[in-house]
Structure 1
Amino acid sequence: MFKKKPNIKPLSPIKNSERRKLADHIISDLGLTVPSSDNADADDKTGLTTLRNSLLPDGSLSARFTTTAGPDAKKVSGTIYVGAHPNQDLRVLWVKLEGNVYPTVYTLWHNPAILPLLHTPSFVVEKLQGGADLMTPGLQNGPPFPDKAKKGAAVAVASVESPTVPMAVGVCEIDVSALQDVRGAKGHAVKMIHWAGDELWSWSTGGKPGISPPDRVEGWLNNQSDVEQIQAELEAADLEDDDDDNGGVNLASAGEGRPQPADAVDPTRNDEPADFEDKELTTKEIDEAFKQAFLYGVRHFMEANKNEPNYGLPFPLSQSFVMSNLVQPFLPAHTPAQAASLQIKKTSFKNIKKFVKSLDKAQIIKSKDRDGNEAVILDIDFEDQEIKNFKPYRLPKKDTSSGGKTSAPTAAGDASDSSVGQKLKRVEIFKPKERLSPLFSAVRADPKGFYTAAEIRPLVTTYIEAENLISPKNKRVVTLNPILANAVFDGSAKSDKDVINKGFVLRDALVDRVLASCAPYHAILRNDDSLESTKPRAGAAPKVSIVLETRSGNKTVTKASGAEAYFVSPQALADELRKTCASSTSVERLVGSSPKNPVMEVMVQGPQKDAVLKALEKRGVPGRWVDVVDKTKKKK
């Protein structure tokens, strides 16, 4: 709704009595529980006061606003409530529309679990940030969905990749909580009201830009197992495409780069279609399916990587690696009902950690708790009888001709990535600024044109020769005239006064100053592209950024951004890194980049700088075009 800047009237203070009344209305409307005080001797109202101040801080302000919404530009008016959380600037915390009060993302980041939380892939979140509504096929991490996500209820929306950080607020247009399956569903699920990146998010009293979302917000999900479960389930997602511009997005590429299990273990598999009963599975059947999928995954790695240590498995194996590489690709989800049933929440284990513990109890693996939040697999007994006697079964195969909904992962080869093997060339270009127009006009050159350094040098030579400015005693010395003095030596450099007082300058120094007085542009030429057919871009040529940083205490991740400028698809890069590094990857909008022209960031687990550099070199991007920052090294 706030894609366009609203007309906001002057702010006015809210009386404390009205602020408390509004906060109580929000608490009642959202059904929030008032926290009890930790101090038994404290006033009974301490918990209520704390909650009120957290939702609507003391000293909050309000203002009326008007804006337009919808395809018919309908006029909408309401009230914004502005406040500041501790150590933060004033921001819009709540917005009142048609009698309903909705929180902004700033309030959600400070007050976890006040709204039902829905999840969708990050690239769908990007569409929401462009003003689209969330379509039903775009819903993830369910069913079951939150009980409070009823028709007309306000909900928060987060990406599957960052499941604890709400990025948008909307209103349910259907009863989301009652959905049994989103595959094949049509229509809008959530009408978006506000998102990180819109005009409410960017508003501030001092003109400061919007605050970037945090990496994690504690309290939105129960524990780390739930977080990793949501992220792992994305690996097997296959949403049916509904509308190209509205969140019903096909995740056919989500499995690219993963193994082709059935062919690897059983090359004689019969691919003729078989009849599968479309019915929901019992808990016992789901438990067995997950265990068999794990055995299948282990056998696949044993067959595909016979000559590699540990069959190519990078021990210790994290929970997300186990789900995305050893379980999800091997689940027998042949029908919509089976696909809906085969979710970790519907097992008797309920989460990945307990599932790993069950495999340890069966003595198939050896596991260990790490950081108190997850169980990692330290070793697998490859000689276990259940693994040795495992018999492969038929896996679902994507029917691309009929739009089938279930699929086995397919490997993405280099042939699908047009950037592999490309040849790139960076060219520095200069555009004369207005004060240089007399110089270029004098030699009949376009004062508004684009030139390389090699093209500007002879133009300067022609000018000084035509004006007879070359010193008769030394041809390397040029006498200044008023045009050069005013246009080139304008006082922007420390030596300008000395040059003007002397009345002459060396020819090479003159050319350098003419270039410095031009506006810098650049062009990146691909393969056989010519400079004439390429539109120059302002500024110096960008560099790809690689950043290594530590998360969750001791986990290292590698981030790469800015590859699009060199015709490299971030998703294709992530697919290759997932395979070569045997690590989970994700692609999200770089924090702070424009929602309209986003820069995508590829994240891969582990210190994978060399792997990223190698993948970029394959795509024509040499190391000198890359900036590497290692934040994991401690400062001296």
Structure 2
Amino acid sequence: MFKKKPNIKQLSPLRSSDRRKLADQIIADLSLPLPPKPANDASPEDKAAATVKLTSLRNALLPENVQAAKFSTTAGPDLKNVNGTVYIGAHSGGDVRVLWVHVSDRLWPSIYTLWHNPRVIPLLTTPAMVVGKIQAGADLMTPGLANGPPFPSKAKKGALVAVASYENPSVPLAVGVCAVDVSALGRVQGMKGVAVEILSWVGDEVWSWSPSGKLGGEPPAILEAWLEEDEVLEITQDVGGVRLDGPSEEDENKSQEKSKAIQPEMDYDQREWTTQGSSCQTRRRIMLTLLDIDDAFFKALLFGIYRAKESGSAPRYGLDFPLKPSFIMAKLIQPYLPIFGPGDAEALQIKKTSWKNMKKFLKHLDKLKPPFCLTKDQGGETIISVLDFDHWELEDFKPYSLPKKAKDSSSEGKGKGPEVASGADSSVGQKIKIVALYKTKEKFSQLFGSPEDARGYHTATEIKDVVNEYIEKENLVSGNNKRVVKLNPFLANDVVDSKDPKNRDFVARGTIPRDTLADRVVAASSAYHVILRNTSTPDSSSKPKAGAPPKILITQETRSGNKTVTKISGLEVFFIPPQPLADELRKTCAGSTSVDHLVGSSPKHPVMEVMVQGPQAQTVQTALEKRGIDKRWIEVVDKTKKKK
């Protein structure tokens, strides 16, 4: 279906209620087994366990980060228009990809969803030679079916099925819908006709699509769960990292029998399972449970305080009380989180803990027995006023291995207290992208077809596409020149403002260049922007801000007669912590640096300013480029030059 690249519109996050409804619809459509409902007199623990099982199943099919977008493309030899909805998100440790596609009345999974949810649909196999033809856009013919009869009992006419090669039957390479009742076939040799109408395959535009333009992920070497004899996957026991309880003795015996040939060995430094003993070696990411994430944050805080005690002196060990949440996260937690790769960075976020935010986390520490710290509310945030450096949790703490970039020898930073963590700058190597968005006026809703479609934020390209679609729909293209558009009453009155001198000639002639019309709509819309870090698509947490994107300001000025200093401000919006940058510049420039509040910034939301000795604008720009900052987002002001 998707031999031609689909035109995917603006992504928008799904509400939690909509995501649950969609997940329940998928479960019903695929006839997936639901966890048994607890009896009315069941204990609260049993009821909670059943709820967790259902939530785990939903999250496995539709991760919490999923977003929806409308799309359009053409299909078939007649280039028939196809419109639908794609659901885009990322499984734990994976890239953002298309996970589900909804066209007409059919909702089907992408290849990536099948790789992360084995056996949610029946699996058919075919020789590798036939797979090559499928990847060229062909359907699976009946004689191409292998490894049967009998075929899976659920592979009936109209059912969704996965297709893998006979040589490697554990990795689906295509998804389609049965054109005949495959389960009832008694033989395939000599038969004719299409068995499976292919919807998507490895190598098509669904598999290749990514918001960052990154090519599709390579198929894994092996997915053992697809080799199980059961036709339906029991994914409610341990999905999405939520472990409900320990396995029964019977389950353990079965698991040991299945794993005699392949024994997993844990590689803690890589935080991955390395499976050895087979012709193919496969690496499977560990799924962190909620308890794992909570434990990681608490131990990271212990590690940060442990380092402060190791390099500081009593009674405060170099810590400046009260401790603010931003300082605690940047100095005492973030540098000591066991983040060894993108998957860990995605999982280890405060919003994915049971506390959800720093305020509740700090309140939790205050309620421990005995209290780990004393907190109080000040200026709209919760701060730590007193910290128990002799708490038994700190006394029993044992340091653990960290990524190389976060390690500091005990000799480094002696006497600096928490500054030992300043070398761990999470912004180094980050990728920053600024997305310019526009909010159109309500009077332009006719362009979009309805007020609902007009609401929200749109890129300039999306607005221009909407204008072009409206032009084609209303047949407004000039017969003499396709680049010229005829003005109908709506365009002349509401879109092209005749009061503007630039538009009077167009209104008088009754025509306007197509590009100029689109530019008028964009110019009349309200400008917004979103700054994205290590991703290419806005999510629910990245709220657009009004106005043009900000810039990092680098100012060179003369102080104390003839001494030149360089000041840097505006770092926070680009996810750059000022203190680690100052520490790096201190070494690079071989001069003293300082971090202080920018004069005039809000006390509630202070902006920090880094100052380094000497005319260091070029050095600062190099340091910022390492942190993903494009030169277009930097403004350099040199006040040392004499005015002419």
TM class by smaller structure: 0.3 to 0.5
With the length of structure 2 as denominator, give the TM-score of the two structures: 0.36
With the length of structure 1 as denominator, give the TM-score of the two structures: 0.37
